[in-house]
């Protein structure tokens, strides 16, 4: 929410209603319909709708691509920008986006991560050659998890 400067996000789907409000400077979430109020957020249960407590915004995210340890000069890792399920190709019958030896440029698609039934194509964001694929097809991945080991260049 910090990156996009959102202060409020709401979604409603099949009987589930979720609303997330970013805290004001006093550390108190906004009351629905108000901006900057110091009154605490108090969820009220409706008969057919479950109550979902507000979720605090995560700490500032790291870049999806991060340098490796100093002993591996010129080696970088493509990391997962989200939580989801890792897929090496667009469909089970398709060729993998990136394999060992694949030359990458910044906009080269390397995989798909499925999150909440949405297929998100992940781009390399680096130049180099894939040395190792670190995740198995269909495996769940975490935010920041290393997906590909790449020799920069």
pLDDT tens for residues 127-153? 999 999 999 999 999 999 999 999 998
Same-domain check for residues 32 and 87:
no
The number of distinct structural domains making up the chain is 2
Phi, psi dihedral angles at 83 (to 5 degrees): -90, 140
Give residue 22's pLDDT band: very low, low, confident or very high (50, 70, 90). confident
Contact, 132 vs 76, CB < 8 A? Answer: no
CA distance 146 to 115: 17
Angle CA 30–56–125, to nearest 5: 120
CA distance 10 to 32: 10
Rg value, the chain, Cα: 20
Q: What pLDDT shows up at residue 144?
A: 94
Same-domain check for residues 26 and 82:
no
H helices of the chain, where? none
Same-domain check for residues 128 and 71:
yes
Same-domain check for residues 56 and 73:
no
Contact, 153 vs 74, CB < 8 A? Answer: yes
Report which of residues 136 and 69 the model is more confident about: 136
pTM across the whole model: 0.54
């Amino acid at each position: 929410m910090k990156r996009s400067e959102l202060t409020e996000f709401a979604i409603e789907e099949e009987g589930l209603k979720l609303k997330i409000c970013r805290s004001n400077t006093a550390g108190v979430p906004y009351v629905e319909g108000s901006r900057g109020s110091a009154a605490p957020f108090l969820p009220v249960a409706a008969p057919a709708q479950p109550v979902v407590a507000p979720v605090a915004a995560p700490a500032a995210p790291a870049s999806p691509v991060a340098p490796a340890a100093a002993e591996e000069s010129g080696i970088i890792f493509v990391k997962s920008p989200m939580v989801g399920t890792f897929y090496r190709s667009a469909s089970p019958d398709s060729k993998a986006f990136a394999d060992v030896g694949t030359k990458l440029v910044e906009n080269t698609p390397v995989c798909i991560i499925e999150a909440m039934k949405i297929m998100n194509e992940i781009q390399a964001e680096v130049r180099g050659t894939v040395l190792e694929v670190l995740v198995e097809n269909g495996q769940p991945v975490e935010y920041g998890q290393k997906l590909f080991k790449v020799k920069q260049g």
